[in-house]
Chain A
Amino acid sequence: MENIVEMKKVTKRFPGVTALHDISFDIRPGEVHVLLGENGAGKSTLMKILSGEYEPDEGSIVIRGKEFKKLTPKKSSDYGISIIHQELSVINELSIEENIFVGKIPRKRLAGISLIDKSSMHEQTKALLKNIDLNKDPSTMVGDLSISEKQMVEIAKAVAFNADVIVMDEPTSSLSEEEVNKLFAIIRHLKSAGKGIVYISHKLKEIKEIGDRVTVLKDGSYMGTQNVEDVTIDELITLMGGRELKNKYLTSHEGLISDEVLFSVRNLTSKDEIIKDINFELHTGEILGFSGLIGAGRSETMCAIFGASPKKTGEMMLNGNRLIINSPYDALQNGIGFVTENRRETGFFQNFNIKQNISIAKQLVQTRLGGLWGMVDFKDEQLVAETEQTAMNIKCASLNQQITALSGGNQQKVILGKWLAAGVKMIIFDEPTKGIDVGTKAEIYKMMRALANKGIGVIVVSSELPELLSICDRIIVMSEGRITGSFTAAEATEEKLVKAATVAMEAAAIGAG
């Protein structure tokens, strides 16, 4: 089979680092070629060379037999290469059809004046959406769509302009199980239409399911390309240079969970009533998971507990004390920390160095009047940051480094360090390993277990079922703002969790029918 794209011996250097060393990579029509590697392995750099964002220092790119020393974004797209980034680039303020045709709007002439051909745009979009099984009106605002639907729009856009190669950068990182299945169906459809798909992912299980060939990168070097069916997950992990991971976190610890209730929630309803009547208990030594589809109200529950969004009713007890929490400051004062889903938006301060990012919560607790009255304790700041750096193995050149210079995993450790430094008694993790490499994931799971063993409450919200199944002692499932199931580690299976997550919807469907 002839390759659509062939990248030959590509090398890319940045000041002080060789990001890619002599990498060869090809894409055949009608295949899913998985690009695998830990964060920093060079996957994104390689794809940025393909999309024309970066110029390679050595090597060349051959597209349909034509050789290029370098590409530009325009050339790359003209030659049929389309990239769907992890952070989606759709425009929320435009409709689906306008998003798809942005920059290439179909035109018609009326009395010599060039006008937008709305009906043609509408019809073309309708056909495209049908093609990818997205049941929406083309004039729907993209801002009103869910993340997975936005992703579908990007795929439709790639298909609309006859892309031969579609690169998907971690497409499932914000999708629920069901949405992932839907995405895979579309990928299979694209495959049968002869498109070449490059699939970038950390998730080894998905690779087995959807991939045809897999190329592994490690620290910018080429580790080999193999047929997916000829290789086991363990072999891939070894190639990535990662540690053996599977199910190691679930060592027997059931004896450590006591009957003592550390934290409890009674009749929690948010002011906007997106979540209703939430009741649960967290025992000392236990890791409690929250499962459900996106939009099930898991993050909203955590925000209400943490005081980040207003409550209508609800009673919370921590260590036998009744909590009154109306703001994150109250939560912090009462010993609750929250590692949010989006580090960049609600986690760290990009203008602060590592030290300042770690110390902020502790200093807020130490000073008075909500942090208004009190001095910055620079000595304590240094000490606390050093302690957390060692405890958590944060890899950085100096604590005075900007946090933006760190990898996602290390940033996550800094945010966790912020709460631990403040001496919290309970910590909520929302999608704690999103966009984090396999190695750091394992470290974070270990830390969670260590925290639980120390008697600190651990609540984990995650969309990745294997993650919940391997680290949690108990899993609560939510659907449409309510709790629809609760399973111990022993009883929980993926099937049961998925069933509980969709139960309310089925009921609603029956009710409507």
Chain B
Amino acid sequence: MKNSIKKWAQAGDPNAMTQLAEIYLTGGEIEEAKKYFAQATEKNYLPAAKRLADIFYDEGNEPEAITYYKKAAARADIEAMEKLVELCPFDEEIMSYVLEIIDGQCNEIYFHSNSLKKIMLFGTTRMAEYMPGQAMAIERRRIKNKILKFNPSLRRA
């Protein structure tokens, strides 16, 4: 299996590169793992960027971790954004970059007015159903407020 994955990775499949890196990582060959994660990241395969950042984070290499978490955050990855806030809460440039990503998503968690009409239309089940989207919005709001607490100057009107 490992050989065929290697073949696919060499042909250029970033998903196979990521898998290969995972195998090296489990085997303790961290440098090889990093190499393949980095290759996949170069091909714009962002899940690999997050794994690479995780390795640097565990090694204590903060600047590299930040670089790759930044890449991973581009797809609004909650964990990557949270790590960025943890690593460099006062770096205004990076924080405003994260805020921009968050603001690009739908972060509305309130039902707005007229809940009665909604209840009459859908029954209360609709209200009780916990949609993954709403859960994510709550997390994004939490991160956003954390950033604003550290950097009040980033608060926009």
A binds B: no
Interface residues in chain B, defined as those with a beta carbon under 8 Å from any beta carbon in chain A: none
Interface residues in chain A, defined as those with a beta carbon under 8 Å from any beta carbon in chain B: none
